[in-house]
Amino acid sequence: MKVIPDPISPGQESVWSYPRPPVAEPSQRRLNIVHRDVIIADTRKGIRTLETSHPPTYYFPPADIAPSVLQPSRRRSFCEWKGEAIYFDVVVRDETLRDVAWSYPDPNPAFRSLRDHVAFYAWPFDGCFVDDERATPQPGNFYGGWISSDIAGPFKGPPGTKFWCRAGSRRAGGGAISSTPVMLEVTPPPNFPYRQGHLERRIAAPTNSADVADGGVHIAIPGRPGG
């Protein structure tokens, strides 16, 4: 099944033009989070990660997060691109939001800029804002992207999109292939290996004689950090 990118309006960028493997880049947009009239985080020095089919995930520098709102959680997970993530509860007044933020204390080399920065799911909070526009959480309560009006989808996350991916840049045995987005329904074998909390692995599953996503299919296993 082909995934048809939404039309792009002036000033928009499409998540289907984002790369895979993902990248991290600085963002000078104002990012802020408010809950129960408390400013949880507010920055113009964020970092956003971009990956095919996902809206950006924003990471805040620790200096721009309110003191004492983050409490370490026991949860851990692993991303094949970024490394091991640690999680935080957010405590606001008498409310504790469990496992709603995460960070990479020792990220892989390509994501060194994320070290000790913290990302937040948008859905638990009263408001998450990008340049004063209220962001919409990435669908599905599974990934951590923030959707603003300048981002065009469709977005990975709702039911039926778990195995969306974009055709890769090479064919088995070499040669270029189409970049047409495709959706593959793949059931991992019963002995499919993953660590506890490890959300992303790839298995060989060629389509139309072409390798997908750098030679395999991106498998999402519940528990993945947001992005």
pLDDT, residue 62, reads 98
d(CA 39, CA 107): 27
Contact 14, 152 (CB under 8 A): yes
Count of helices and strands (H, E) across the chain: 0, 19
Taking only the tens place, the pLDDT of each residue in 122-143 is 999 999 999 999 999 999 877 9
Average pLDDT, the chain: 79
Go through the domains of the chain in sequence order and give each one's CATH number: 14-151 (2.170.150.40)
Taking only the tens place, the pLDDT of each residue in 62-75 is 999 999 999 999 99
Q: Name the residue type at position 38.
A: V
d(CA 6, CA 24): 24
Look up residue 30 and give its two tokens. 């104002």
- What is the mean pLDDT of each successive set of 10 residues along the chain, which is 227 residues long? 88 96 97 98 98 97 97 95 97 97 97 97 98 95 92 93 59 34 40 37 31 31 50
Q: Collapse the DSSP code of 182 into the 3-class scheme (helix H, G, I; strand E, B; otherwise coil) and give the result.
A: strand
Residue 66: HSE in the Cβ half-sphere, 13 Å Cα cutoff: 15
What are the residues facing 115 on neighbouring strands?
A: 104
